[in-house]
Chain A
Amino acid sequence: DAKTTQPPSMDCAEGRAANLPCNHSTISGNEYVYWYRQIHSQGPQYIIHGLKNNETNEMASLIITEDRKSSTLILPHATLRDTAVYYCIVSGGAQKLVFGQGTRLTINP
């Protein structure tokens, strides 16, 4: 079973920041938080991952709370092409990725 809880759907206006929450209250010390997204009819795409510290790359920022029980994926300037299902996954280094239902993010013009 997935170790994360995400809202089933969210909406965001184009050009605004999209903030996607994820709860992972049972995360272990050696487990990373991964974010993937899946655009319709394509395979999941890696976005970002982190252990303790906040992370930023060209796609997004990942904010992990100090107790590591929750995190937020931030898409700073959402575009229509960011419409997708976003998956938050907790996984240790030797473990497979276990996907939940994800959050269906819709970017509105």
Chain B
Amino acid sequence: DTGVSQDPRHKITKRGQNVTFRCDPISEHNRLYWYRQTLGQGPEFLTYFQNEAQLEKSRLLSDRFSAERPKGSFSTLEIQRTEQGDSAMYLCASSLEAGQGGGYTFGSGTRLTVV
């Protein structure tokens, strides 16, 4: 079990550029979650998948954000036309289907800086 992997760890981009982050969950976990965290705040929920189906999206997930989880394995989070307000830590987590006990396992995050 290698845990949840996120790539890249850090990303600096110019305003207006598109960025894509990748998350590889724990292999037997069928749920995958994306969160965003700004300095001094707790993580904020963005969206989650059960297998390949995206079951919930937060209102924080504007039209510039899109997430996919093809084949129910890894997931990508794309931000188009980045803005300075998108600067944050983007966290991915995975879990077994709810109700089976245990908690979420988080990755180390991708820190995005928009300049």
Contact code string B23-45 (vs A, CB < 8 Å = 1, else 0): 00000000001010000011111
| Total A-B residue contacts, Cβ distance less than 8 Å | 50
For residue B5, give the distance in angstroms from its CB to the closest CB of chain A.
11
Q: Are A44 and B106 in contact (CB under 8 A)?
A: yes
Q: How large is the interface on A (under 10, 10 to 19, 20 to 34, 35 or more residues)?
A: 20 to 34
Q: Would you call A17 an interface residue if the criterion is a C-beta within 8 Å of the partner chain's C-beta atoms?
A: no
Q: Are B56 and A36 in contact (CB under 8 A)?
A: no
Distance A42 CA – B109 CA, assembled complex (angstroms): 7
Distance A100 CA – B37 CA, assembled complex (angstroms): 11
Q: Are B104 and A97 in contact (CB under 8 A)?
A: yes
Q: Are A100 and B42 in contact (CB under 8 A)?
A: yes
Given A43-B91, A94-B99, A96-B33, do A101 and B104 touch, yes or no (CB 8 Å)? no
Chain A: which residue is nearest B111 at the CB level? A41
Distance A107 CA – B107 CA, assembled complex (angstroms): 25
Q: Are B102 and A102 in contact (CB under 8 A)?
A: no
What residues of chain B have their CB less than 8 Å away from a CB belonging to chain A?
4, 33, 35, 41-45, 48, 56, 91, 93, 98-99, 102-109
* Interface CB pairs A-B, < 8 A, 8: A36-B103, A36-B104, A43-B107, A44-B43, A46-B102, A93-B99, A94-B98, A99-B42
